[in-house]
Chains A and B, each alone.
Chain A
Amino acid sequence: MHRWLVALIIAMGGAAGAAASGLERVPAVSHPATAKECGECHMAFQPALLPTGSWLRITDGLADHFGEDASLPADLAASIRAYLAANAGRSGDPKVTRITEQSWFAKEHRFRASVWQRPEIKTKSNCLACHPRAEQGDYDDD
């Protein structure tokens, strides 16, 4: 389907395709500090991909961030925390910090284990490996 047509359908209040997750198009990261600091080691994930509680857990624990030290000066961390929380998604389990462990993610990504192990993919969180426009918040690839 043409991109403009999809946009038109959404604008008219219709549902586009198999929009089960409701996350096929999410607003791009619009906070420069978040784009910079959270986009260094991996793509800066869009706030709509996790609920507020998950973002608070993540931004309160940056010194031990999935085994990495991602700590930031307090004022910078606070401004990123506020941006992510204010723009968080409405669905998902706030106790789960990984996007890739949310139940919607599992439903949308039922692939054989061998797919995840491909060297160019490396990890489930490497959205860009499969969604070329992921940095714009576009996960609608068909």
Chain B
Amino acid sequence: MAEKVSTEKTMSARDAIMAHVRKGLGVRGDEPGRRGVVQTRLRNPVANLIPERAKGTKPELVKQFQTMLENGGTGVVRVRTYKGVPDAVATALRERNLPSRVRLGSDPFFRTFEAEPGLLEILGGAAEATDLVGLSHAFAGASETGTLFLASGPDNPSTLNFLPEHHFVLIDASDVFGSYEECWVKLRGVLGAGVMPRTVNLISGASRTADIEQTIVKGAHGPKSLAVFIVGSARE
């Protein structure tokens, strides 16, 4: 299909735009120095200035992460061990008067739910419009703004982050970092340089809008509430 759309016409548009850009910059485009600068920068991504607040011991960062999320109206629950996760989720559902049913992906992080059949009804796969709760696992979190990093895939389908009325997210305390940059480093470590899953969602709060008279209302199109479960204790 793309081949059909990428007709000669758009190919020539590409060449025309490139020529115009080079003319405006006063370059030919094949200067080795210029290309080298760009390639070095792309191959060795370097962090720029990291705010002081993103630095600290693990326990400090986890505390900041929790505070930032709570300041944005997100509920945060600390869970000591993985074994305690199903119970914590069931409790959170009860507190919100929600049925004991969640949809989640095939992330190994969720294996603990298998140990407690009957506690919750578990749905799998992509989210549906009628879902009340989606449960995801964040591969990292940045404490500087209380931001969760989630990668799409069968483990954690992206629709779980947006279609259900409520979004629950689990994160391992050891995956809480200070800055966004550290979260990217972790992702590159898993997938390799320059490779991304289809979608990476940075989530810092529930869906909201201020489009009418600058009044903030939660639950614009996405989840009306966000709840985060931090699992484990962060060690130095």
Q: Do A and B bind each other?
A: no
Q: Write the residues of chain B forming the contact surface with A, with a CB cutoff of 8 angstroms.
A: none
Q: Write the residues of chain A forming the contact surface with B, with a CB cutoff of 8 angstroms.
A: none
